A and B are shown apart, each in its own frame.
Chain A
């Protein structure tokens, strides 16, 4: 619901960290206006440097993808599909509606839509980056978010290849703190002080909603139903709970298929393949230890 103002979970102070409440972002592209305030607010608060001044030619998206210096990324998806019951010029009128009175200029059904979606680190329940990090730099916080501790990170880059979403990256020279791995912090510093992450707080249409994960999931389910009833037949949630990421803290409503937004339909953390290997190795090691202990015990 837009317009709750200071009562909105995007504005009011909270104690989620102190109360160990799992939080999340629910991002809804059907109200996103593609303004990129989230990208800027994130960079302003977190003092993230610019990410290059390259024009992409890909719609209005000159950000490209998430990375070490881009922790929010608004996608601009132009598709020859219809968005709900939207009437786009004469394209959705004419013969498609079976109206013989359509003017000569009204073409047959010729749909078009422009969808904006603000992407961010998913803060996976089982996080590939965290699993892969050998230094203990990446930790899970009280609110369930995944945080890179840059004072601990040694820049090995294992996390980079372990993220199923391609979110985390090492920052290249000559940018500040080059070499280290960076990604969305879920504004952990703000959250500790009871503040809402900068991107959600700034969002003019509350396309990004911050709040308790449980509440958001309920809200999202309702929203999908509401949209489907309103003609958005391809509205669905992107919240992979069945795969090895076991759910994400930043989940999305999407129109159409996840691939159109660069989202893997079945994201897996690479370490699940390693896990079986590590588990057997670990078991062997434990067995060896126990055997040794036993050997000592019987001495």
Chain B
């Protein structure tokens, strides 16, 4: 946290000053460890074993926050008799596994009776089929001794952590868990976060001030680009992208609308999105243009379409502020894939590696690619910087913050908004001149935005659309003073376009009378005409009055849990939201129906939020409960389970299956995995960020003031490993995996410690991943060494735990490289070296990633 989010760490330091204990769990001793009270080194990729050990410790010793857990979580819910746990056979599989599909059927994971809205409960937590008992059994073997065997954390250190956590739990205390990609970039990344969620629910740390599980996100608007996604599988506000087979709007809504909880409003959110996209062309008669939305036919995420690029099936690519030639896994393959495109648009502030791979890249240097053979047409558009355009970022805490424009961008530099607007105008003009039915979606697109003299669309107008409005235009388009609830009202040509703004998503309708580009952002620009993302007067410690937090400016979600079941605060120190005998009130905006009393009991058959009891804080869930156990929605099991990384130096101590069964391996000859315990790759490899650099380096390696602070690629190794390999600090070394080899300087430090697993010494190697072939300072890209793999739920790669070998000396350049690589990492032979890996084409669920697919 100190390393990659220094100003965020300010608050951790503030807490420490006030007596908090900081525990840092990381394979390497980083700048965060230096300031922590306890540093817990562990083997990369074993987090579930560690967290599972803590969960077991809380349960076995009755140390969990029972007053919180019993009413607020699904600990008491009774599961289906069909449910089978990995413990039952010790094989690592849950019930429902389909070997043919390499996927789970999840029916057996449901609550008894299959209804998620009104689960049967046993508040004594004794029923053998209740979640609590299943959870207890699931983690029963995750004892401190097992944690030591798997993670390398000695029991004494484990207990220090457990004691600190227990001491910070209860009515008067909370603890927060902060994580970043060190937890997500694993073959079971989602389940690692789930394990933290279980821990925090057991400790009563969700929905309360000072609690939570805080994702520390690495880009200025990575949260925003998930909320308003540039992702394939969701629409704004986490609505599901329609799939093939969701033929009509009704079918689609039937498939994704929940009967109870906040998602019961799904039709309102969806129809309002369609109205924002297609404007007056979206009518009840044409399903609000639903058929124009493309339908998914499988997984269309980046790695899937990357393989299409490699196979020459992708014609064109728009690359806007991302640098896969350095920043994406198996970057040798990434650069090769770029060279197979017909055309490529790159928008960036500097000439990144992904823009000039055809001219300067290791592949050109090694003679693997030649400029004269590369057909790709490349358009490099210089981009405007953050001070040269207005708009909002959404930060890691869901806070929308507006940026005012300071100056015009220099030369040809323009914003992405300008580019999209100008491209849209051109494409829509082509569509207008065409009669092809496939162009109907383009003709229908509501592209009304007023523009300035540079041709930039008005960003507040876009924000107004995201917020939402009543669709009926007011005659004349409203006054211009924003006093009538209409903020824009007129389109680019001056025609009346829409009516008053909505004040929040509660006003949205499913009948086409409202439009909203992102329902969860609704309220950011309401009828008072105030751009709340640009508010700059913080009024309280939660920061109300500064920016706008979705939803509804709520700073801590599920904050009903900050009060006891009876509605009174857990304690004076931790009061946040409470029931004042008529309504919910407090320091934060209550995340609950304002007038719903704590003792409210829904009637049988109640729907929507009416079905959520007065003591059920988790209103997005159909049962209103915090899910220790996930009865529906995950692809790799309802409970986190320890699996070894896809590349691991050791075998799974707990189950006969080594790895997450549902993972995507992306089997391909250039993307091979070393089998477990492969002596050719004896060391654990992990990658990380440095404070002085930013991601793939486009915003840091080119700046002298940052580049000089970390000017060269290095690898961190322990003095013990250095001694074994006869390496001195500062020596050049080569790090080799089956995917590639890179050169780095050895930084020998006690900050990396050998681990002792079951009497065996294990070494870890840590690499920063910022370097590439362009910029002021250059170096090999750590991502050349990584595999492309897909966590089952979200298709994120395992970047934090692999295996490697180290060869002292310089890496051969030019054509000698191939020979070197082949010597230490044989490049021919089987593509599926790992025994649990399907052969190529063996992952039938995929729509893209099959070599040779037609």
A176 to B763, CA, bound (A): 47
Find out whether the CB atom of B776 lies under 8 angstroms from the CB atom of A36. Answer: no
Find out whether the CB atom of B6 lies under 8 angstroms from the CB atom of A90. Answer: no
- Chain B residues within an 8 Å CB radius of A113: 34
Find out whether the CB atom of B160 lies under 8 angstroms from the CB atom of A31. Answer: no
Is A276 part of the binding interface, using a Cβ–Cβ cutoff of 8 Å?
no
Find out whether the CB atom of B711 lies under 8 angstroms from the CB atom of A62. Answer: yes
A65 to B31, CA, bound (A): 20
A59 to B690, CA, bound (A): 13
- Which applies to chain B's interface (DSSP): helix, strand, loop or mixed? mixed
Is A51 part of the binding interface, using a Cβ–Cβ cutoff of 8 Å?
yes
- Contact for A105 among B9, B39, B152, CB less than 8 A: B152
What 0/1 readout, one digit per residue, does chain A (203-214) give for beta carbons within 8 Å of chain B? Answer: 011000000000
- Chain B residues within an 8 Å CB radius of A3: 10-11, 14, 17
Stretch of B80-88, B624-632, B751-759 contacting A (4+ beta carbons < 8 Å):
B751-759
Q: Which residue of the partner chain A has the closest CB to B148?
A: A103
A202 CB to nearest chain B CB (Å): 9
Q: Which residue of the partner chain A has the closest CB to B712?
A: A55
A282 CB to nearest chain B CB (Å): 45
A59 to B31, CA, bound (A): 11
CB contact under 8 A between A85 and B37, given known A36-B709, A104-B756, A105-B152: yes
Is B291 part of the binding interface, using a Cβ–Cβ cutoff of 8 Å?
no
- Chain A residues within an 8 Å CB radius of B729: 57
CB contact under 8 A between A2 and B10, given known A53-B776, A57-B747, A105-B152: yes
- Chain B residues within an 8 Å CB radius of A43: 705
A14 CB to nearest chain B CB (Å): 22
Q: Which of A1, A99, A204 has the most CB of B within 10 A?
A: A204
Find out whether the CB atom of A114 lies under 8 angstroms from the CB atom of B709. Answer: no
20 inter-chain pairs at a CB distance below 8 angstroms, sorted by A residue, are A39-B709, A40-B705, A40-B706, A43-B705, A49-B704, A50-B704, A50-B708, A60-B690, A63-B708, A78-B750, A83-B34, A87-B38, A89-B40, A89-B41, A89-B753, A94-B154, A204-B7, A204-B9, A204-B10, A205-B13
Chain A interface residues (CB < 8 Å from chain B): 1-3, 31, 33-37, 39-40, 43-44, 49-55, 57, 59-60, 62-63, 78, 80, 83, 85-91, 93-94, 99, 101-106, 112-116, 204-205
CB contact under 8 A between A205 and B706, given known A55-B745, A93-B154: no
A139 to B157, CA, bound (A): 55
Is B786 part of the binding interface, using a Cβ–Cβ cutoff of 8 Å?
no
- Chain B residues within an 8 Å CB radius of A53: 704, 707-708, 711-712, 776-777
A99 to B747, CA, bound (A): 34
Residues of chain B in range 336-383 having any CB-CB distance to chain A below 8 Å: none
Q: Which residue of the partner chain A has the closest CB to B32?
A: A33
Find out whether the CB atom of B34 lies under 8 angstroms from the CB atom of A114. Answer: yes
- Chain A residues within an 8 Å CB radius of B37: 85-87
A52 to B33, CA, bound (A): 29
Starting from the known contacts A80-B750, A103-B156, 6 additional A-B residue pairs (CB-CB under 8 Å) come to A2-B13, A34-B34, A53-B711, A93-B157, A116-B31, A205-B13
A100 CB to nearest chain B CB (Å): 11
- Contact for B160 among A36, A52, A87, A101, CB less than 8 A: A87
Q: Which residue of the partner chain A has the closest CB to B746?
A: A57
B733 CB to nearest chain A CB (Å): 12
Is B692 part of the binding interface, using a Cβ–Cβ cutoff of 8 Å?
yes
- Chain A residues within an 8 Å CB radius of B250: none
Find out whether the CB atom of A88 lies under 8 angstroms from the CB atom of B39. Answer: yes
A19 CB to nearest chain B CB (Å): 30
Residues of chain B in range 127-161 having any CB-CB distance to chain A below 8 Å: 148, 152-157, 160
- Contact for B14 among A2, A93, A101, CB less than 8 A: A2
Q: Which residue of the partner chain B has the closest CB to A94?
A: B156
CB contact under 8 A between A35 and B35, given known A57-B730, A63-B709: no
Find out whether the CB atom of B691 lies under 8 angstroms from the CB atom of A34. Answer: yes
- Contact for B156 among A37, A78, A99, CB less than 8 A: A99
What 0/1 readout, one digit per residue, does chain B (18-29) give for beta carbons within 8 Å of chain A? Answer: 000000000001
Find out whether the CB atom of B749 lies under 8 angstroms from the CB atom of A59. Answer: yes
A111 to B517, CA, bound (A): 56
A53 to B777, CA, bound (A): 7
CB contact under 8 A between A52 and B708, given known A1-B17, A33-B31, A89-B41: yes
- Chain A residues within an 8 Å CB radius of B160: 87, 93
A299 to B11, CA, bound (A): 80
Find out whether the CB atom of A31 lies under 8 angstroms from the CB atom of B711. Answer: no
Find out whether the CB atom of A103 lies under 8 angstroms from the CB atom of B749. Answer: no
- Chain A residues within an 8 Å CB radius of B708: 50-53, 62-63
- Chain A residues within an 8 Å CB radius of B690: 60
A116 to B9, CA, bound (A): 15
Find out whether the CB atom of A33 lies under 8 angstroms from the CB atom of B9. Answer: yes
Find out whether the CB atom of A55 lies under 8 angstroms from the CB atom of B10. Answer: no
- Chain B residues within an 8 Å CB radius of A31: 13, 17, 35
Find out whether the CB atom of B39 lies under 8 angstroms from the CB atom of A89. Answer: yes
Q: Which residue of the partner chain A has the closest CB to B152?
A: A105
A24 to B33, CA, bound (A): 30
Find out whether the CB atom of B154 lies under 8 angstroms from the CB atom of A103. Answer: yes
CB contact under 8 A between A35 and B6, given known A50-B707, A112-B750: yes
Is B696 part of the binding interface, using a Cβ–Cβ cutoff of 8 Å?
no
A44 to B708, CA, bound (A): 13
Q: Which 6 residue pairs are nearest across A and B when measured between Cβ atoms? A: A105-B756, A55-B712, A50-B704, A57-B730, A103-B154, A53-B711
Q: Which of B6, B7, B156 has the most CB of A within 10 A?
A: B156
Is B651 part of the binding interface, using a Cβ–Cβ cutoff of 8 Å?
no
A61 to B186, CA, bound (A): 31
Q: Which residue of the partner chain A has the closest CB to B756?
A: A105
B732 CB to nearest chain A CB (Å): 11
Is B714 part of the binding interface, using a Cβ–Cβ cutoff of 8 Å?
yes
- Chain A residues within an 8 Å CB radius of B32: 33
A194 CB to nearest chain B CB (Å): 21
Find out whether the CB atom of B749 lies under 8 angstroms from the CB atom of A78. Answer: yes
